[in-house]
Chain A
């Protein structure tokens, strides 16, 4: 894809900022398993916490291509930071922008876009992982409020977020079509609390938390989208989220390839025969093929997403075939690029040998981080299920 001059400039300035201000701290936050508050403040000051939100709502006024550029650049530096920002932007700000009423947009987006507040997205439950429609958290209407009861798990930013897009069943008998509603929940709402914060294999600077709703009172004006239409909100949001995720994985893969190449060149300069080994050359060639292909599919998906979200935000009717196309391609690009990234990172580990295993050198962290992209926002096994059913014409939803 040909990026515009402005997009290239944006990428350059994001890269410079991340390399100068963030890169040197990421090993620290990973090891300490600490949320990088100071970094998030810096990122917010750069205006990046609302990159794809219109200026009138406090954002930077860019769109999905630029969102992709941002997340890709984060992927080069630290997937944990990318996850925090990706969840905030792609999974909280975006659905509020796409599905919010004017009141909701102007109430929530400005502080989120300026990074004064952090966003999160809560869909997964103990019994509703891959089977996302099977959520048990209930929303019962009581006067002008909905009373939420239940719990969410694995919520990125969950213990740090001020504003959370929460999915609950308004009518369990209806299932995903009509029975699930999205709500905007503030962390100060009565009956909301944070449970367990998980210790993870990777992306350790980002937090993953359990959320508890005990008679949590949510005003009815905080329904996001229509009552009972929450599953569409979730799926549409995740269509974008997955493409962002793929962009992050692409960034990690591309950076890792560069690291691998500079390591081999450096070893060559020191007199090592590493660069002459065909096994090493082929690992580099294979990684270059992978990264090249990943770049093409990510850029292509971002273009599609841009068009799709533009229509959704305007409230236009999206042709069914186009929506299904974006959705399937989003599943494809997520699974494909996350696996590419894992392969490239695995090769980098092999080329670096023991040094790759050492904490603090970088490869070890990237290796641990790489596994999550194959899991979150729908495991790659679920993506395969979705892709196959769509292609075979077996989708029932």
Chain B
């Protein structure tokens, strides 16, 4: 596990990287819907593909709290890059925690970004269906996973497979026969995260590709959901912070009616609303991540966090767009991208309307 000093170093490194290197590229990443290869290298060099992965495999071995902070920093510059890193790191952490020795050997390449990981779980997209059948020497997987983050380019894909006996997790890899990765789908937001449909056409998987025991499967699925929800919440926080930053800068500099528009009460109220949202989500995530790092289950809190954080991000980005007036609609300014990215992560990774039911069930008993 990384020391607290190491954690601080990685955070400040990422902050600097985000501000100086990622932010200037973010608009191009969005319009090209592509993370350039050089950027993957840079992300590797600052440990972004091994945040959670233990140090013995070349990872940073940071606690979840640090990952959330780092993902939020990345998300402040580019939600696409943050989402790609998030899914990759979750795949790694699951391999690290539940993988066999042989399975873990993948980690040395994953942690260094030589291979990219993805997670294909049914709960992230309501339309995904994968069946899987046990036969003598392993499994046959058929089906399709929709809207898989990193799906178009991932080398390793942790896949939820369902049979009559419940769910299991299978490690699928690029090059397996019948494992077909679709092209990146053109989307409203998080356009460069390689979100794609992944097809399984009679994919034969040996038993050694199954991750953990049958009992582990449920835990793993919960951990993955929890991780995605908290990670997306962190990205949402990043988008809201970026929106505030842009809105404040613009409101102070834009003069209408003989004064900066920041002097108008209506603008001040908007700025105040964005700020309040950021502060409450920030402390909420801070608290949940600390509890999670004590190995406690935060599944339902994570679901709630995803709802409130992404809703807050969309609201903040829309307010920032309003403050920018006509300029907000122009792609030379980043706020229209913030709106698109925020709306996309409201929907991806588990719909908010469904996550709200988790909270309701918990409260209503």
Instruction: Knowing A358-B185, A359-B187, A359-B188 are in contact, say whether A199-B344 is a contact too (CB < 8 A).
Output: no
Q: List the B residue with the shortest CB-CB distance to A355.
A: B127
Partner-binding segment picked from B35-43, B220-228, B294-302, B320-328: B320-328
Q: Is the C-beta of B164 less than 8 angstroms from some C-beta in chain A?
A: no
Partner-binding segment picked from A40-48, A139-147, A367-375: A367-375
Q: List the A residue with the shortest CB-CB distance to B336.
A: A201
Chain B residues with CB below 8 A from A200, complex form: 329-331, 336
Q: Is the C-beta of B138 less than 8 angstroms from some C-beta in chain A?
A: no
Q: Is the C-beta of A356 less than 8 angstroms from some C-beta in chain B?
A: yes
Check A198 against B322 for contact (C-beta < 8 Å): no
CB distance from A247 to the nearest CB of B (A): 20
Instruction: Knowing A349-B347, A350-B353, A364-B187 are in contact, say whether A372-B329 is a contact too (CB < 8 A).
Output: yes
Q: Is the C-beta of A353 less than 8 angstroms from some C-beta in chain B?
A: yes
Partner-binding segment picked from A7-15, A69-77, A123-131, A165-173: A123-131
Check A129 against B325 for contact (C-beta < 8 Å): yes
Q: Mark B181-213, 1 if CB is under 8 A from A, else 0.
A: 000011111000000000000000000000000
Chain B residues with CB below 8 A from A371, complex form: 321, 328-329, 336, 339
CB distance from A356 to the nearest CB of B (A): 7
Q: Is the C-beta of B147 less than 8 angstroms from some C-beta in chain A?
A: yes
How far, in whole Å, are A154 and B189 apart by their CA atoms in the complex?
A: 25
Instruction: Knowing A131-B257, A279-B353, A353-B351 are in contact, say whether A379-B330 is a contact too (CB < 8 A).
Output: no
How far, in whole Å, are A154 and B329 apart by their CA atoms in the complex?
A: 10
Q: Mark B88-119, 1 if CB is under 8 A from A, else 0.
A: 00000000000000000000000000000000
Task: Tell me whether chain A's interface is mostly helix, strand or loop, or mixed.
Answer: mixed
Q: Is the C-beta of A360 less than 8 angstroms from some C-beta in chain B?
A: yes
Check B343 against A360 for contact (C-beta < 8 Å): no
How far, in whole Å, are A375 and B340 apart by their CA atoms in the complex?
A: 17
Q: Is the C-beta of A240 less than 8 angstroms from some C-beta in chain B?
A: no
CB distance from B27 to the nearest CB of A (A): 10
Check A381 against B330 for contact (C-beta < 8 Å): no
Instruction: Knowing A353-B351, A357-B188 are in contact, say whether A367-B343 is a contact too (CB < 8 A).
Output: yes
Check A354 against B325 for contact (C-beta < 8 Å): no
Q: List the B residue with the shortest CB-CB distance to A280.
A: B353
Q: List the B residue with the shortest CB-CB distance to A272.
A: B126
Check A354 against B343 for contact (C-beta < 8 Å): no
Q: Is the C-beta of A244 less than 8 angstroms from some C-beta in chain B?
A: no
Q: Is the C-beta of A179 less than 8 angstroms from some C-beta in chain B?
A: no
Q: List the B residue with the shortest CB-CB distance to A124.
A: B326
Q: Is the C-beta of B256 less than 8 angstroms from some C-beta in chain A?
A: yes
The B-contacting residues of A in range 147-163, CB under 8 angstroms, are 153-154
Question: Which of B189, B326, B343 has the most CB atoms of chain A within a 10 A radius of its CB?
Answer: B326
Q: List the B residue with the shortest CB-CB distance to A351.
A: B353
Chain A residues with CB below 8 A from B352, complex form: 350
Q: Mark A376-394, 1 if CB is under 8 A from B, else 0.
A: 1001110010000000000
How far, in whole Å, are A130 and B328 apart by their CA atoms in the complex?
A: 14
Chain B residues with CB below 8 A from A354, complex form: 125, 127, 146-147, 347-348
How far, in whole Å, are A189 and B110 apart by their CA atoms in the complex?
A: 63
CB distance from A369 to the nearest CB of B (A): 10
The B-contacting residues of A in range 177-212, CB under 8 angstroms, are 198-202
How far, in whole Å, are A356 and B344 apart by their CA atoms in the complex?
A: 9
Check A381 against B329 for contact (C-beta < 8 Å): no
Chain B residues with CB below 8 A from A358, complex form: 185-187
Q: Is the C-beta of B332 less than 8 angstroms from some C-beta in chain A?
A: yes
Other-chain contact of A357, B189, B256, B258 (Cβ < 8 Å): B189
Q: Is the C-beta of B266 less than 8 angstroms from some C-beta in chain A?
A: yes
The B-contacting residues of A in range 86-118, CB under 8 angstroms, are none
Chain A residues with CB below 8 A from B218, complex form: none
The A-contacting residues of B in range 238-278, CB under 8 angstroms, are 255-258, 261, 266
Question: Which of B258, B322, B325, B331 has the most CB atoms of chain A within a 10 A radius of its CB?
Answer: B325
Q: List the B residue with the shortest CB-CB distance to A198.
A: B330
CB distance from B33 to the nearest CB of A (A): 10
How far, in whole Å, are A384 and B325 apart by their CA atoms in the complex?
A: 14
How far, in whole Å, are A359 and B321 apart by their CA atoms in the complex?
A: 22
Q: List the B residue with the shortest CB-CB distance to A342.
A: B318
Check A367 against B146 for contact (C-beta < 8 Å): no
Chain A residues with CB below 8 A from B353, complex form: 277, 279-280, 350
Chain A residues with CB below 8 A from B346, complex form: 350
CB distance from B157 to the nearest CB of A (A): 18
Other-chain contact of B347, A199, A201, A356 (Cβ < 8 Å): A356
Q: List the A residue with the shortest CB-CB distance to B348.
A: A354
Q: List the B residue with the shortest CB-CB distance to A381.
A: B266
Q: A134-B256, A368-B340 are in contact. List 6 more A-B contacts (CB 8 A).
A: A199-B332, A201-B336, A201-B339, A201-B340, A359-B185, A360-B186
A-B contact pairs, 28 of them (CB 8 A): A127-B256, A130-B257, A130-B325, A131-B257, A131-B258, A153-B326, A198-B330, A199-B332, A200-B329, A200-B336, A201-B330, A279-B356, A353-B127, A354-B125, A354-B127, A354-B347, A356-B347, A358-B187, A360-B186, A364-B187, A367-B188, A367-B343, A368-B188, A371-B321, A371-B339, A375-B325, A379-B322, A384-B266
